[in-house]
Structure formats: structure tokens, C-alpha cells
Amino acid sequence: MTSAGDRYHKRTTDEVTNFIKKLELQALETAEERLPLYLKVGVKDARLILDVGCGSGFVTRDIARLTKGRVIAVDGSAQLLQVAHTTMRTYPNTSICTADAQRLPFHDNTFDLVTCNLLLMWVDTPQAVVCEMARVVRPNGKVLASLEPDYGGKIHWPENPKVDVLFSGEAIRKKGGDPHIGRKLRTFFVNAGLDTTIGIGNNRIWSCEEDKQYYLHSRDFYIKVLQDAGLSQREIDAWEFEFLKSLDDGVQLNFFPQFYAIGIKPKS
């Protein structure tokens, strides 16, 4: 791994432990948005499912719990797949393999269902990945991309003009992600030849307690973003004080839309 971070998950060695914790917390917090989508695309009856960009496997585990079918989980990062092995070890209907989502090592028309969660935002060529997912799903099978955010739609109160701009996209872009992936999903799915439905999966606004827990888990990341953007320690301390106070007072609101796309492969 380079100091710039793993080529796939884009975190440095120092950041990776926290990143894995964040993925676990995120999987818990977003279960109520993702599980209805899995049911909607027929996870229960699917016999062969592929989860692309499974990371540490917390989300794949949710899929495995909902089906009697076989779930194959792939990711480019060998380091995260090691964690996924542990996460999924008690789920005999799962298998794991290393693969680049841009060149999936499977034959055309193999899977009943192909899923990805929070992946397209982080890949170099999202269109190529969606085309690969469409290639390996069988005719009439479904492709689901879930929790792809669009920080252009972020609503945050109380405001802090200097800091809000960083967390409404800039920080993600600096990390190598696309903060506006949500609005592009329809284009990627339609271009891949899929009959496409788009929606926003999150309609619940997190409580201040949930937001605070999430912040405390990711605090190092937030502080580093502010430092990298050139804020002084005094400015960072003042922002953090106000931010935590608004959470403790129960008045803070933070929302950004997380899109999903469901594509059905035509029978040709």
C-alpha cells in the first residue's frame, strides 16, 4: 500500500482501521434503507447473487441473511477481503474473491442479481463498472446500485460557510471520490442497456445522537479535511465546539440524498 492509500479503498494504512469501523457503523445505520431495496429486487428468490465492491463484507452479510441463494462477494482490495472473510465466516452461502469491478472475472449472463453499495462513487470509471454488472447479470435479472450519495443536495444547519463547502463535496473529491455520483446513476444504467428506475433511498433524517456517534467515529477524517483546507487550529476548535454544541442541544440538521438505481436486463 502506498502512502496515498490503497488503489481501491483509497485509505492510507493509518486510516484503514477507522475506515473499517466506519463501514460497520454505516451498514448498521443504513440497513433500513437498503433492506427494502434488496427485497424489491427479489433477493429472496435469487439463486446466484454477486455483490461488487463488498469491502469488509458488512453489507454482503445483510444480503446473505435475506436469501437461501449463493452470494459471491468481490472487491479489489485484498486487505478489506481479509476482514470480509471474518465478517462472513458463519454464512455458508457466501464466497469471496478478489476482482476489479471494471473487469469482472465471470461469464456473460451468469447471475440472477448483481448488487453494489457505495461503490460507484469510488471507482475510476463508473460507467465501465455498471456495464460489467449488466454483462454478468442474466436476461431479466436485476442490477442494483444503492446508497450512492449526491452531496450537491446537502442541507445543513446551523451553517458555517467556510466548513460547509468542504463537506458538501470538496473533501470527497480530494479523496478520489465523485461527490455528485447520485445524479449520474440514471445515465450509467441507461447507457449499459438496462431498463432503469431511479430513487432516493433515504427519507429519514438522522437524529443528533446518530450524527454525533458518526462524527466521533470519523473525527480524525473531518479534522484532517479542515487542516488540509488551511483552517487554523483556532478555527477548527471553534467549529468543532459549535458543531458538537448544536448536536448536544439537539438542534442540528444534516441531510443529503442517497440515490439508488435498479436496472433490469432486457431479454434481448
Plot region of 53 (φ>0 → left; ψ -120 to 50 → alpha; else → beta) = left
Residues touching ligand SAM: how many (CB under 6 A)? 21
What region, left, alpha or beta, does residue 109 occupy, with left being phi > 0 and alpha being psi -120 to 50 degrees? left
Closest distance of CB 79 from ligand SAM, Å: 8
Least distance in angstroms from the C-beta of 12 to ligand SAM = 14
| Least separation in angstroms between CB 144 and ligand SAM | 12
Q: How far apart are the C-alpha atoms of 109 and 77, rounded to whole Å?
A: 25
Task: Compare residues 114 and 247 and give the one whose CB is closer to ligand SAM.
Answer: 114
Site for ligand SAM in 26-85 (CB under 6 A): 27, 53-55, 58-59, 75-77, 80
Q: Which listed range, 99-107, 131-139, 151-159, 238-246, lies at the site for ligand SAM (CB under 6 A)? A: 99-107
Which backbone phi and psi does 116 adopt, to 5 degrees? -150, 145
Nearer to ligand SAM, 224 or 242 (CB): 224
β-pairing, 253-255 with 155-157?
antiparallel
Please say which residue, 55 or 179, places its beta carbon nearer to ligand SAM.
Answer: 55
- State the DSSP code for 134: H
Question: Do 208 and 149 form a contact (C-beta atoms < 8 A)?
Answer: no
Q: What does the angle CA 71 – CA 76 – CA 1 come to, to the nearest 5 degrees? A: 145
Task: Centre a 10 Å sphere on the Cβ of residue 240 and count the other Cβ atoms it contains.
Answer: 16
* Position 151 contacts ligand SAM (CB under 6 A): no
**DSSP, res 121:** G
Q: Is 117 an interacting residue with respect to ligand SAM (CB under 6 A)? A: yes
Q: Confirm or reject binding of residue 100 to ligand SAM (CB under 6 A).
A: yes
Residue nearest to ligand SAM (CB): 55
Work out whether 106 is an interface residue with ligand SAM (CB under 6 A): no
- The H or E element that residue 197 is part of is strand 195-200
Q: Which residue has the cell 446473505?
A: 64
Residue span binding ligand SAM (CB under 6 A) among the ranges 87-95, 114-122, 149-157, 250-258: 114-122
Return residues touching ligand SAM (CB under 6 A): 8-9, 23, 27, 53-55, 58-59, 75-77, 80, 100-102, 117-119, 122-123
